[in-house]
Amino acid sequence: MDLTTIKKIGLSALVVFIFLVYAVHDRIDGREETNRVVISTESLIPSPFATSQPASKYKDGTYTGPVTDAYYGDVQVQVAVQGGKISDVTFLKYPNDRRTSIEINQQAMPFLKQEAINAQSTNIDIVSGATQTSMAFIESLKSALDQAI
């Protein structure tokens, strides 16, 4: 089956758009090669690492959210926006900074490690995540980011 046939399958399946990339990378030692093909069966899905910048609606700055009731108790986060994007999320307050809270949590269920998420190196092979770009992820971090609009 050649590449044209793949496209025909896509079209016959009434998909809107087909994006096809085929790349062969020879390994340095030449003994093995890597075959990678990407097919998208849907349009309107920007690549997660697209080079174009979406128009930003956030102003640069640091915004502190209100103290909110999280699973273990109160949580408060600070969001830094740089270049119109979230550059950092800082944990200002979380419940296991108090002895009473720790004891209560440990009795109720195993204590699970928590951390504020942070951007990591993108030296990776594959990405796991929900695929399509959201129109509505602003729901999240709402309290802090509402101030940035």
Partner 1 sequence: MGMPVTLEIVDIKATQKDLDEVFSYFAWVDNKFSTYKRDSEITKFNEGKIQRRDLSHEMKDIFEKSLQTKKEADGYFDIKHHGTYDPSGIVKGWAIYNAAQIFKQRNFKNFFVDAGGDIQVCGKNSEGKNWKVGIKNPFNQRQIVKVLSVSDLGVATSGTYERGQHVYNPKKDKPITEIVSLTVVGSNIYEADRFATAAFAMGKEGIYFIEKLNGFEGYMIDENGIATQTSNFSKYENN
Of 20 and 103, which CB lies nearer to partner 1 in the complex structure?
20
Please name the helix (run of DSSP H) or strand (run of DSSP E) that holds residue 8, with its range, or none.
helix 3-12
Residues 24 and 41 sit within 8 Å (Cβ to Cβ) = no
Taking CB under 8 A as the rule, which mask of x and - marks residues 78-117 in contact with partner 1?
-x-----xx--x-x--x--------------xx-xxxxxx
Distance in angstroms (rounded) separating the CA atoms of residues 79 and 73: 20
Among 4, 13, 107, 149, binds partner 1 (CB under 8 A): 13
Among 9, 56, 104, 146, binds partner 1 (CB under 8 A): 9
Instruction: For 26-71, give the DSSP string.
Output: E-TTSS-EEEEEEEE--SS---TT-SSPPPP---SEEEEPPPEE-S
Question: To 10 degrees, the CA torsion angle through 111, 113, 115, 119?
Answer: -150
Q: Whole-number minimum distance, CB 60 to partner 1, in Å?
A: 14
Q: Whole-number minimum distance, CB 99 to partner 1, in Å?
A: 20
Can residue 32 be called a binding residue for partner 1 (CB under 8 A)?
yes
Of 99 and 113, which CB lies nearer to partner 1 in the complex structure?
113
Can residue 42 be called a binding residue for partner 1 (CB under 8 A)?
yes
Instruction: For 69-107, give the DSSP string.
Output: E-SSSEEEEEEEEETTEEEEEEEEE-GGGSHHHHHHHHH
Q: Whole-number minimum distance, CB 23 to partner 1, in Å?
A: 10
Of 55 and 135, which CB lies nearer to partner 1 in the complex structure?
135
Can residue 127 be called a binding residue for partner 1 (CB under 8 A)?
yes
